[in-house]
A = this chain, B = another copy of it.
Amino acid sequence: MEKNKKISTESYKGTRDFYPEDLAVQNFIFDRARQISENFGYEEYNTSVLEPTELYKAKSGDEIVNEQTYSFIDKGDRDVTLRPEMTPSIARMVAKKRRELTYPLRWFSIQNFFRYERPQKGRLREFWQLNADIFGVEGIEAEVEIISLGYEIMKALGAQDEDFVIKINYAGILKETYQTELNLDESEVKKALRIIDSKNKVSEEEYRQKYINDFGEDKGKQLFEIEQKITEKTKQNEKFQKCVELGKKLENKGIKTELDPLLTRGFDYYTGIVFEFFDTNPENKRALFGGGRYDDLLDLFDSEKIPAVGFGMGDVTIKDFLEVRSLLPKYQSKTELYLCTLSQKYSDNADQLATSLRKQNINVTVNYSDKKIGDQISVADKKKIPYVICIGGDEVQNKQYKLKNLKTGEEQEVTEESIADAIKQITE
């Protein structure tokens, strides 16, 4: 490249730079998610963001594999993909050690994913997701537990019951009804399901127009008008009674759900109950996250099937959800103490004090600049560090310090031995 051509400072389109204040938000969300997952006995796992492409060809949705993946050929001629979702990877990992593992497995991970999409509100090309899955439980207890886990995470993030609704359906029966009642073929059913998926995002007239655009005037209108009837038919399907049972069990635990025969999910591998946590804010009617049962996915590998239920909760939608409800915490630095120096000749003294305080588990940082003391304090304040101590000749000689609280302006006399206790007492 030319010597003088300057490089852009922008991150790659649809990805984000997490400056410390941004990452603090991200960590707030996923620290809570991790804590609740461990609280439910889930164990953390991980694998590479780069996977063989064949992993996605068989079971993910068509749109996701063909149009939305980041796939390329490596220098050794292998077809590889930046994972668009976690489920195929966890299924691969379970299949690989299926005989050594002790069931039920309760696993979670917090990792990044890539989809080639037009970046828009709630959608980016790279996003982070909590994935939680339970393997080896055939009974409905698995769905009860997984949905309870999602619910408790929402509560731990500060959400109220009325902020979201949990919708439940059974994968495949809507398709079945369309096929038997209306004789739609496979591709027509797909088109209809995609339209239904947009139902909550558009006005009724736009929604009706979508049917007409995709199916023509007559058939489109017919499909739009028959939707209510289809819904009723679906509810009568025997499989749908599983949803009714699940709803009751969750209600006994104080978790309300809504049975929704029109609920669809973007992946093709679900074999039973599917669910979605949905934002109730009328201005943000959208799915927050969801999941379901996928008992057949291990069949992809040379492995017997293992029943599985799981969900993926993405950071982008959750952050929006928390932001509009003012549920995100105010940023505060994890650094507790900033040591200012009256002149650079006290840098070594400050450094010695810092070393001693660090051993007492105080997070402390030292000024090395020749800035004026007021400017140093202002650096600490800008960085949201709550305490400062200024070090000069007196302090070095007497080993007596003034601990200043930048929020209240209060000062407290401390010795090297009492600093740690003073800080811990106030922050507790």
A residues adjacent to B (C-beta < 8 A): 1, 6-13, 15-20, 23, 26-27, 38-41, 43-52, 54-55, 57-58, 70, 72-76, 78, 80, 82, 92-93, 95-97, 102-104, 106-107, 112, 114, 116, 126, 137, 139, 141-142, 144-145, 148, 152, 252-253, 300-303, 333-335, 338, 347-348, 351, 355, 358, 361-366, 368-369, 379, 382-383, 385
Contacts and interface: CB of A to CB of B under 8 A. Distances in A.
23 contacts: A7-B92, A7-B301, A8-B54, A8-B301, A10-B96, A12-B51, A12-B78, A13-B76, A13-B78, A15-B47, A16-B47, A16-B48, A17-B47, A19-B97, A26-B46, A39-B362, A39-B363, A39-B364, A40-B363, A48-B112, A50-B70, A141-B347, A253-B355
A43 to B, nearest CB: 4
Contacts of A107: 20
Contacts of A300: 6-7
Given A23-B46, A51-B11, A116-B75, A334 B104 contact: no
Contacts of A75: 116
A27 B108 CA distance: 14
A40 B333 CA distance: 12
Given A45-B20, A116-B74, A54 B7 contact: yes
A144 B369 CA distance: 14
Interface of A is mostly: mixed
Going nearest first, the 3 A-B pairs with the smallest beta carbon separation are A41-B365, A15-B48, A9-B96
A302 B126 CA distance: 26
A415 B130 CA distance: 34
A13 B78 CA distance: 9
A55 B358 contact: no
A335 B41 contact: yes
B126 A43 contact: no
A8 to B, nearest CB: 7
Contacts of A302: 6, 9
A7 B58 contact: yes
A126 B38 contact: no
B139 A93 contact: no
Contacts of A301: 6-9
